[in-house]
Each structure stands twice: as C-alpha cells, then as structure tokens.
Chain A
Amino acid sequence: MQKKSIKVVFYLLLAFALILGVAGCSPAATPAEPEAPAEEPAAPAVEENKFEGVELTLAAMTDQYVTAFRVLIPRFTEETGIEVTMDELGYVDLYQKLTADFVGKTAQYDLMTVDIVWSGEYAANLYTLPLDDFMERDKAELNLDDIMPVAWTLGEYEGKHWAYPMAGYANVLNYRKDILEAAGITPPTTQEELLAAAKALTKDEMYGIALLGAKGSAVAQDYMAFVQQHGGSILDADGKVALNTPDNVAVLEYFGELFNYAPPGSTDYWWDQRETAFRTGIVAMMEGWSIARAGYENPEISSVVGMVDVTAAPVSEGMEPQYGFGGWGIGINASSSELKQEAAWEFIKWLTSEEIQKEWVKNDGAPIRRSTLTDPELVAMYPWFPLMLESFEKGDGDYRPRIPEYSIIQDALGTYVNAFLVGQETAESALQKAQEQVEANIK
C-alpha cells in the first residue's frame, strides 16, 4: 500500500515535470490575438458602475510627472471607482520590463507611459492597443483640435495612434541670467554663438555648458539633439540609417568641442547629474527638456532660484528654426482584458481632458494642449509657457527616429559617441563603427 502511494506520487511529479517541459519547449505559436473588435456597439459608454472595482496597473517612468500622477490618481479613483496602482520605474528598467511584459503577453501592466521614441517599435510589434476606435467613438468629448499638432508624434506611427499624448517637452536653453549679464553676453540664438558663449563663460570653477556624456541613451540622445539643431538627420533621404555622413561627423566634432567647456566629469553624466550640475550652479548654460524648468525655482532642490531664464534652443546659423520635441504618451497594453482596456481608456480620457490637464501641469506634469499653454493662470505661474508654445509650434518630434530599430541605433551611438568623447575614437571612426554595429544588428 505504501509503496503504491509512493509510486503514485512519483508519477505525479514526473507528469508535472513533463508538462512543464513540454509547455516550455513549444514556442508560443499562437498568433497574436486580433485587436479588440471595432464593431463593438459604441453604446455602453455611460453605464453606471461598469468599472466599479476594476483594478489597473500603470507603469510610469520616474520623470517629474510622477508627482502629478500621485496627486491625480486618488481623484480618478474617487470619481470613477477604478483603482489604479502605479509602479515607478527608471528609464532603462521601464523599457525592459514593459518589453518582457508585452512579449510574454502577461498583461502585468494595463497602462504604460510610452517614450516618444518607442512608438514605432510598439506599433510594429502590436504591443499597445491602437486607440483609433476609441478616439473615433468619443470624438465629441476629446476636443482633439486643442491638442498641439506636434504632440501627436508622442504615439502616432504610420497613421494609427499607439499611445495618447500625455506630456510634451520642448528642447530649450536654460541659462544663468546673472552670469551672462556679468560677462556681457546676450543669450545665444545660434549654435555658433552657443559655442562662443560656452568658451567665454568657462573659467576657474565655472563651466560654460552642461551636457550628457555618459555611455548609453544619455550621450546618444544629446548628440541626436545637436544633430537636429544643425539641421541634420541620422537617416538618409530613403529613411535608412546613415550615421557616418560628413555632416554628422562635423556635428560630432562640434559636440566634442562643446565638451571642452563642460565640467570635466561630463563624459559620465546622465540626466540627473547634468541637472545637479546646473542646480548647484557650476555651469552657466544647459540645454534640456522644458519639464525641468519649474524645479530650478524650488529652493529645496536648487541653489540657483531666481537666477535662471530660458530661451529657445539655438539652431545653426541660417537654418529655419525648428525645435526638438520629446516627451511621453500613455498607452494601453494590447494583451489586457477588454474591460481593463475600456477602463484604461477612461483613465486616458480623463487625464488628458482640458480640466485635468490644468491640474496635471500645476503638479509638475507637462502640457500637450493649446488651452493649457495659453491658460492665463498657468502662464502667470510658469512665465516660460509662451516660449514653449512657440517651440511646440515649430517642434520636430522625429529627430530621434521613431522606428522599430531605434534602440539599436541608440545603443551604437551611445557607445561610440562616448568613445569619441574620451578620446578612444576619432569622429569619423566612431560614426563608422556605430554604423557598422547598427547594420550588423538590424535584420
């Protein structure tokens, strides 16, 4: 009797192991499930308590706007009964966790903040739900015309919307009023003036400009921003990756020259260290996203309160002004259940409504709507909003190409631009090797 039961348990365990093995071996052959049916009757929009008790999870980048999420989410739950749990993740972790979630179709996150550069990849792989059906259904309440045209680049790819605009950033030039005045320098309006000003302002323990130099996404994105400001592109006319063009080499030489007037540790700076450099007052100028601007007036984290002003990011001489645009959209996981997707759409709709956008921006969020950028109360709070409006009007959201291969390009540039800055490569050989690495990894 005892032996028999032992045998039985053994078989059980064996069967268990086999099942696990079999399940593991067979590739997840089931094709991607068809998108949520568009034919769904559009009627049950205002059904009472439909979403009562629905629980959503949101994966959010730890950018300034998480503060706004923390304030607004309880209010949303109160109004709709939908629970939203937020996971705050760093840039690299967010990308990797989301990809793992999408690939495994585990739907651990229903809502996610989507960086502008990810939209192409998400679209190509059907990771997020295209929002066009929802948008068509709720057209009347969305007031789409109010959203700045450039903000659509936050999630649109090849005609469909894979994420909804949430937080728009403009590339601007922050500078120290006091230091520039003392040196008799007017805020630079061209790249040539920027270099001259950086040179003139660097003396003793004071540096002209703070830049991103750390290997990885930091240096890659800063370099691409300067390519944009010189009117260049890292893609050729056919949309193919072309990193090693003479123009791009020239921009890289320029970028390297700027580093002579940056703090010595700059080749190791990520965004946070660049911010620290500016906030502690060791640099006179810094290009960066507009969302950080409000922080310079907060005495708890800044020792340059009242000394900072902001102007449009300088472009190369003679170039039609165009400003780098970036930021975040918010997307819905394509693998989430239909009810959750509906609830998630409610959240997006609510968050991006004119009324809530005002609260969003007041709590360190970033604007996407014209009405927000021109709201008198907000303009009084943030005097740089008219400048942002102008930058948005002439914004370019595609200087970092939103194509599925973006992460490969970014990694190659991140390695070799950094190698150039520390003197391991020349400008030509750096871009040549980056180009080779991209070509080896794109299939």
Chain B
Amino acid sequence: MLCNVRMSAQTGIRTHETTGATLVQSLTQTIIKKLKSDPYFWLLFPLLLYVVLIAIYPLFFSFRISLFDYRLTDPNQIQTFVGLKNYIRAFKDPIVLISLTNTLIFVAGTVSIELLLGLGLALLFSPETKLAQFVRSFLLIPMALPPLVVGLIWKSLYNADFGVIPFYLKQLGMDVGRGPLGELSLAMPAVILIDIWQWTPLLMVIFLAGLKSLPQEPYEAAYVDGSSRWQSFIYLTLPLMKPTFLIAFLLRTVQSFKVFDTIYATTSGGPGNATTVLNFHIYTVGLTFFDMGYASALANILLIVVTVLSIIYIMVMTRRQL
C-alpha cells in the first residue's frame, strides 16, 4: 500500500518536472515554505483546489475564448484570435441593448417587491405563535421547487385558453387578450410575478434570522422613553437590520441578473423580445448558434455589470454604517 503511494508519487513528480514551468516551481516553493511554517493551511487546500477547478479556471478560459472567433460546431475546431471584436460586436447587437434593459427591469421589479414583501412577511410571522410556525414552514415550499418546474406550472396556469388564471379573470368579466404571457405589456410583469412567488420566502427567512438576532436593550430603552411601535420600527429595527438588508439585496440582485430557467420555461424570451434577458440571449448565442467566442464575451459583460453594481452597493451600504 505504502509502496504504491510512493510509486505514484514519483511518477507525479516526474510529470510535474516534465511540464517544466519554472515560474510555477518557484511559486510552489514559496507556498511550501508557507505550509511548513503554518501547517494548518493544509486544511484549506481541498477547498482551494475545488475553487480553482470549478471557478477560477473556467473564468480564465471564458475570458480567453472571448478573444477568439470560436464556433463549437466547426468540424476542425479552429480558433482564430480576433482581439476585442466580440466585445465590439456586442455593442452593435440590437438585442444586447434590449436584453440588458429587460434584465434591469426584471432585477428592479423582482428585488424591490421581494424585499418589501419579505420584510412584511418576516415581521408578520416573527412572533413564535403556533400559527406563525405553521405558516412559515409552508411558505418555504416554493423556494424548494426547481425553477424550471415552477416555470412550467405557471405557464399552464397562465395559458389564455386552458389556464386557470385567465379562466377566473374571464369570470370576473376581464378581457385577457392573448393571456398574460402573450401580451407585450403583460409578459414582463407576469414573469416577475413568478419570480416573486418563488423567492420572497427566501428573503423572509433571511429577515427572520435578522430580526431574531437583534439586541433587546435598545427596544427596552425606547419603550421607557415612550416611543410608539412605529417609531421603534423606523428608528431601531430598520437601521439595525442594515447588514441583513445588504446580504439579502446582494444575494437576490445577483440571482436575478442570472435569471434563465423561469424565462426559458415560460416565454423563451417572447413575445417578440419582450422578456429576453441577457442570460437568455447568451444561451441562444452559445447553445443554439454555438458561437462560443461571442457568447463568452456577452457572459463577461454580464459579469462586469453585476460586479460593478455589487461593488457600488457594498460601498454605499458600508459608508452609511460608519
């Protein structure tokens, strides 16, 4: 057994030597020195390796590919270096602008309403009554469902001719037209509603955790000073909840930017381009046209947009806290 390990170790070293990257060698030497002085760094190693393989490597690969003209379906798999051409193309592509606008509308719509509803629900169900506990556990169900399944269910609920929702709307004497997903003006609100239905419970859970961890002393002091419940909510609860807000907001913003499955299952970005979000456009370019270079460029643009927004938000929130 031991012998086996040693054997394979030797071959491992040999492979390493033959790849012969001196830079990597010197880098590893410093890492080894560090490890010798602080052996507990070993505990980080599996995770680091995982991150490198799953996140860092694909990131660099996608950046590299975005500088190439690379069509996956090309039988010879030729990659031609084109510099920033893919990025320039993105700025000329009319659908990129449309889908970026749609993405921003989607993010603004879902995140703002979900934050408000989530906070409301959290306040409503934070007292430890039997009913609140019961309802809380039921509200978690939408979150546990795969978004694709949720999308398909809502699609059939929304169907203008056989769906449940238009059926009742018609009973109420309303004109449903082509159905919520078929009308230009209604399609975006309709998919936003699906997202709200699914993800508000997540925010409720985060806010509940935040509420439970608030210190009691300020409230007691405020009570003694004769503040009303509304006043203690505005002047105590909200400011104290700021870190929780930051987490919830960031989490949902990033998730919302990446929305794909709900759109894919319900409208495929239609009618026309009314619900085409950036991620769906990337999918079309990458997995229908198999134009990997351009798709990677679009994905990197999305990444930059999300990163910039996140940084701005973190800066704003932390400055206020100081």
| A interface, CB within 8 angstroms of B | 3, 5-22, 24-25, 27-29, 31-32, 96, 99, 103, 121, 124-126, 213-216, 263-268, 273, 276-277, 280, 282, 407-408, 411, 415-416, 418-419, 421-425, 437, 440-441, 443
Residues of chain B in range 221-277 having any CB-CB distance to chain A below 8 Å: 267-274
Q: Are B184 and A424 interface neighbours, CB within 8 A?
A: yes
Could you tell me the distance between the alpha carbons of A17 and B21 in the complex, rounded to whole angstroms? 13
Partner of A11, one of B12, B21, B75: B12
Complex: chain A residue closest to B27, CB-CB: A14
Query: B30: shortest Cβ distance to chain A, in Å?
Result: 13
Residues of chain B in range 159-196 having any CB-CB distance to chain A below 8 Å: 159-163, 166, 176-179, 181-184
Known contacts A28-B77, A265-B160, A411-B288; 6 further A-B pairs (Cβ under 8 A): A11-B9, A263-B161, A276-B162, A280-B162, A419-B272, A422-B271
Q: Are B61 and A24 interface neighbours, CB within 8 A?
A: yes
Q: Are B271 and A24 interface neighbours, CB within 8 A?
A: no
Complex: chain B residue closest to A441, CB-CB: B289
Query: B296: shortest Cβ distance to chain A, in Å?
Result: 14
Chain B residues with CB under 8 A of A276: 162
Q: Are B184 and A423 interface neighbours, CB within 8 A?
A: yes
Could you tell me the distance between the alpha carbons of A29 and B177 in the complex, rounded to whole angstroms? 54
Could you tell me the distance between the alpha carbons of A213 and B74 in the complex, rounded to whole angstroms? 32
Q: Are B179 and A268 interface neighbours, CB within 8 A?
A: yes
Could you tell me the distance between the alpha carbons of A282 and B49 in the complex, rounded to whole angstroms? 59
Chain B residues with CB under 8 A of A19: 15, 19
Chain A residues with CB under 8 A of B15: 15, 18-19
B303 at the A interface (CB under 8 A): no
Could you tell me the distance between the alpha carbons of A228 and B114 in the complex, rounded to whole angstroms? 48
Max count, chain B CB within 10 A of own CB: residue among A9, A16, A418: A418
6 residue pairs, one from A and one from B, having the closest CB atoms: A265-B160, A215-B270, A419-B272, A422-B271, A424-B272, A8-B9
Q: Are B77 and A29 interface neighbours, CB within 8 A?
A: yes
| B interface, CB within 8 angstroms of A | 5-6, 8-9, 12-13, 15-16, 19, 21, 24, 28, 32, 35-36, 42, 45, 49, 52-53, 57, 61, 71-77, 79, 93, 95, 159-163, 166, 176-179, 181-184, 267-274, 284, 287-291
Given contacts A216-B268, A265-B182, A419-B272, contact A18 B42 (CB under 8 A): no
Query: A268: shortest Cβ distance to chain B, in Å?
Result: 4
Q: Are A268 and B12 interface neighbours, CB within 8 A?
A: no
Could you tell me the distance between the alpha carbons of A22 and B36 in the complex, rounded to whole angstroms? 28
Could you tell me the distance between the alpha carbons of A215 and B77 in the complex, rounded to whole angstroms? 31
Given contacts A12-B12, A424-B274, contact A99 B290 (CB under 8 A): yes
Could you tell me the distance between the alpha carbons of A103 and B53 in the complex, rounded to whole angstroms? 22
Query: A80: shortest Cβ distance to chain B, in Å?
Result: 32
Q: Are B16 and A15 interface neighbours, CB within 8 A?
A: yes
Chain A binding site: helix, strand, loop or mixed by DSSP? helix
Chain A residues with CB under 8 A of B6: 8
Given contacts A8-B9, A103-B73, contact A265 B159 (CB under 8 A): yes
Chain B residues with CB under 8 A of A282: 161
Partner of B35, one of A10, A125, A126, A216: A10
Could you tell me the distance between the alpha carbons of A393 and B182 in the complex, rounded to whole angstroms? 39
Chain A residues with CB under 8 A of B61: 24-25
Q: Are A103 and B270 interface neighbours, CB within 8 A?
A: no
Complex: chain A residue closest to B58, CB-CB: A24
Chain B residues with CB under 8 A of A425: 272
Chain A residues with CB under 8 A of B21: 18
Q: Are A103 and B72 interface neighbours, CB within 8 A?
A: yes
Could you jot down 28 A-B contacts, CB within 8 Å? Answer: A8-B5, A8-B6, A10-B32, A15-B12, A15-B13, A18-B15, A19-B15, A24-B57, A29-B77, A31-B76, A32-B76, A99-B72, A103-B290, A213-B182, A216-B268, A216-B270, A265-B163, A280-B162, A282-B161, A408-B289, A411-B289, A415-B272, A419-B271, A422-B272, A422-B274, A424-B273, A425-B272, A441-B289
Partner of A440, one of B9, B28, B93, B290: B93
Query: A428: shortest Cβ distance to chain B, in Å?
Result: 15
Could you tell me the distance between the alpha carbons of A443 and B289 in the complex, rounded to whole angstroms? 11
Q: Are A264 and B284 interface neighbours, CB within 8 A?
A: no
Q: Are A268 and B32 interface neighbours, CB within 8 A?
A: no
Query: B168: shortest Cβ distance to chain A, in Å?
Result: 15
Chain B residues with CB under 8 A of A264: 160-161, 176-179, 182
Chain A residues with CB under 8 A of B95: 437
Query: B180: shortest Cβ distance to chain A, in Å?
Result: 9
Partner of A418, one of B24, B57, B272: B272
Could you tell me the distance between the alpha carbons of A425 and B79 in the complex, rounded to whole angstroms? 37
